[in-house]
Chains A and B, each alone.
Chain A
Amino acid sequence: MTARPWWKTALGVVLTAFMLFPVYWMVNVSLTRTQDLRGTPRWFPAAPTFDGYASALAQQLPALGTSLVIGFGCVALTVVIAAPAGYALAILRLRGGRTLNFLLLAAQMIPAVVMAMGFYAVYVNLGLLNTVWGLIVADSTIAVPFGVLLYSTFMAGIPRELVQAARIDGAGVWRIFRSIVLPVSRNSTVTVSLFAFLWAWSDFIFASTLNRAGEFVPITLGIYRYIGNNTTQWNAIMATAVVASLPAAILLVVAQRYVAAGVTAGAVKD
């Protein structure tokens, strides 16, 4: 395998193109004129237009803002809960850690539709239906168990000598956490934040159940309502879809390493 055969690259490009065809199609339709949507589809936008984007943005800008707020809220909540818990499990060796790990694994297996129903019942009584806060909390349940397991796995690999040395120098548990463990675990923080954001941004089930009559709807629900309202304007629907895909695309470009790490980590511990 010394030579790098060009035909493999060619085949790889073809396979990737085939795989990403739906993504291309989304972009293609988003640039198509409304009158060209009917009948035989066109492989390329013959007369590309941004009409779809104009109407999408006009209507969906608030929803994009809402999703951003929910995404960042989710990241903050997840990291605040998960990082100290990982520290307790991996470095302070919390007694009963095995049981807690087991619970976290089990928590990730609960179907979202069940959680949605439970949250609905709870939120009805608390008056948290249709609120951004309610969605931040519900969405964070997707990421918190994953976050704790990721942090604790990484922290378990931190050399004991590092913690020991700090302890001898008189640092307390809080100081060690803040000045050593957290900075060293920076990559885990990036991965956890990235996924917490993406999952909250992409969530449809919680949004469509806990925020059905809300004033501020996230972008996923915006697209869904859009489809329900005007099935002829697929260029606008697809334009919204393209815009909603931007965070994922950006994160894939700038943080691909963390994405791949997160997928494998999730696989081992989901």
Chain B
Amino acid sequence: MTRNLLHSAATSVEPARRASGGGAAGRAPAAPARRQQRRRFFPGDPQQWSAVGFAVPLLAYLVAFYAYPLWRNIELSLHGYTVRAFVQGDPEFVGFTNYVEVFTSDTFPVALFNTVVFTLVSIAFQYAIGLVLAVFFRANFRLSSVLRALFLVPWLLPLIVSSSTWAWMLNSENGIVNSVIEAFGGQQINWLTSPETALISVIIANIWLGIPFNLVILYSGLQQIPGELYEAASLDGASAWQRFRHITFPLLRPVTAITLLLGFIYTLKVVDVVWIMTTGGPGDASLILAVWSYREAFGTGQPEFSPAAAIGNLLIVLALVFGFIHLRMQRSWERK
């Protein structure tokens, strides 16, 4: 399973093309003359019928459990849904009113700013720390693979577990973090309850959560770089820093791009960490867009599904824009 990263990137987008290496092998024999009409319709190609048969569960699944909930979500955002309207099923159609309300609300600039800070700072630190660790672990030393496996633990733990552990560590009165700070003569910091530090606190926890992912991806990217390059550079008298700057970093660029893009898409979606640690508070101090959406819909006693859905749809658009860039990059590799 530890296959070439870039290779599987290519095959993931297009398994069909790689598989067609054998020419017509494995394809039901069909007269070339029939091929023209088969483009639209395939009565003469039993394999296509069975292919559809095997894909039907997935297609039905995608329609029922992805398309339909998403469609309901769009519908929510275009109507004035209240709890009562949910039960009676007679919401009023309001067009883009919910979107306008969201964009013009006082919370929007705050949430947008927090989202930008949360995402950029998280990704920058996750990537930098992940890269340093990946380079460090690349040198095979005793225990290195065991330690690398242990680094996965934060990534595997349920988010509620890690988030509540961090919340207790950052507790003002009884937290270990403040106790260490005070031991060094510092002041008690109200990490989660003061507006100045709440966002920083959730960012710290989120960075910790993201390090393993970055480490694993970047480490497997490093494995792709041929060792001869380093040997040659060493013979030429290149220092460790020069080797990193002129070999590792440039050759890692595609993996870096993927890691950062995925990091962005993941970080944009984050709800649990922030919700469990601060619920976006105090006030809106650590409120990011996804948490805002969650809070509007489920976090208060007064569910406001329509604006929440509008915020959610804005997030989808943002994620898809970056996802599209990600896909374009994969395509351009395939051509190389």
User: How would residues 81 to 106 of chain B score, 1 for a CB under 8 Å from any chain A CB and 0 otherwise?
Assistant: 00000110100000000000000000
Q: Does B143 touch A at the CB level, under 8 Å?
A: yes
Q: Does A267 touch B at the CB level, under 8 Å?
A: yes
The complex places the Cα of A152 from the Cα of B18 at a distance, in Å, of 12
Given A81-B61, A84-B58, A263-B213, residue A223 in contact with residue B160 (CB < 8 A): yes
Q: Does A9 touch B at the CB level, under 8 Å?
A: yes
Q: Which of A7-38 contact B (CB under 8 A)?
A: 8-9, 11-13, 15-16, 19-20, 22-23, 25-26, 29, 37-38
The complex places the Cα of A8 from the Cα of B271 at a distance, in Å, of 37
Q: Which of A108-137 contact B (CB under 8 A)?
A: 109-122, 124-125, 137
Structural contact, A205 and B271, CB atoms closer than 8 A = yes
Structural contact, B51 and A15, CB atoms closer than 8 A = no
Structural contact, B269 and A111, CB atoms closer than 8 A = yes
The complex places the Cα of A41 from the Cα of B213 at a distance, in Å, of 31
Give the nearest-CB partner of A89 in chain B.
B15
Q: How far is the CB of B280 from chain A (nearest CB, A)?
A: 12
Cβ 8 A contact of A105, one of B176, B269, B323: B323
Chain A interface extent, by class: 35 or more
Give the nearest-CB partner of B77 in chain A.
A117
Q: Does B159 touch A at the CB level, under 8 Å?
A: yes
Given A23-B157, A40-B179, residue A264 in contact with residue B16 (CB < 8 A): no
Cβ 8 A contact of A164, one of B25, B72, B152: B25
Q: Does A184 touch B at the CB level, under 8 Å?
A: no
Q: Does A170 touch B at the CB level, under 8 Å?
A: no
Q: How far is the CB of B12 from chain A (nearest CB, A)?
A: 4
Q: Does A53 touch B at the CB level, under 8 Å?
A: no
The complex places the Cα of A261 from the Cα of B75 at a distance, in Å, of 39
Q: How far is the CB of A76 from chain B (nearest CB, A)?
A: 13
Contact partners of A74 in chain B: CB under 8 A: none
Structural contact, A93 and B51, CB atoms closer than 8 A = yes
Structural contact, A267 and B262, CB atoms closer than 8 A = yes
Give the nearest-CB partner of A144 in chain B.
B61
Contact partners of A177 in chain B: CB under 8 A: 54
The complex places the Cα of A188 from the Cα of B164 at a distance, in Å, of 33
Given A111-B319, A121-B73, A244-B158, residue A95 in contact with residue B15 (CB < 8 A): no
Q: How far is the CB of A65 from chain B (nearest CB, A)?
A: 16
Contact partners of A38 in chain B: CB under 8 A: 173-174
Contact partners of B75 in chain A: CB under 8 A: 121
Q: Does B187 touch A at the CB level, under 8 Å?
A: no
Structural contact, A81 and B157, CB atoms closer than 8 A = no
Structural contact, B47 and A92, CB atoms closer than 8 A = yes
The complex places the Cα of A241 from the Cα of B160 at a distance, in Å, of 8
Structural contact, B1 and A245, CB atoms closer than 8 A = no
Structural contact, A95 and B51, CB atoms closer than 8 A = yes
Cβ 8 A contact of B174, one of A4, A22, A39, A106: A39
Contact partners of A81 in chain B: CB under 8 A: 57-58, 61
Cβ 8 A contact of B305, one of A92, A117, A173: A117
Structural contact, B323 and A109, CB atoms closer than 8 A = yes
Structural contact, B153 and A20, CB atoms closer than 8 A = yes
Q: Does B297 touch A at the CB level, under 8 Å?
A: yes
The complex places the Cα of A5 from the Cα of B139 at a distance, in Å, of 10
Q: Does B252 touch A at the CB level, under 8 Å?
A: no
Q: How far is the CB of B66 from chain A (nearest CB, A)?
A: 6
Structural contact, B8 and A265, CB atoms closer than 8 A = yes
Structural contact, B143 and A13, CB atoms closer than 8 A = yes
Q: How far is the CB of B147 from chain A (nearest CB, A)?
A: 5
Contact partners of A220 in chain B: CB under 8 A: 158-160
Known: A118-B70, A155-B15. 12 other contacts (CB 8 A): A12-B143, A23-B153, A29-B168, A92-B48, A97-B15, A106-B323, A111-B312, A113-B271, A114-B293, A137-B65, A204-B276, A267-B216
Closest 10 CB pairs of A and B: A118-B69, A92-B51, A156-B15, A202-B158, A85-B58, A261-B1, A88-B54, A114-B312, A248-B156, A88-B55
Interface pairs (25), CB distance under 8 Å: A13-B147, A22-B165, A81-B58, A88-B53, A88-B55, A89-B55, A91-B26, A95-B42, A98-B13, A109-B316, A111-B315, A114-B70, A114-B309, A117-B73, A117-B76, A120-B297, A121-B86, A160-B26, A204-B272, A224-B276, A249-B156, A260-B149, A265-B8, A267-B258, A268-B5
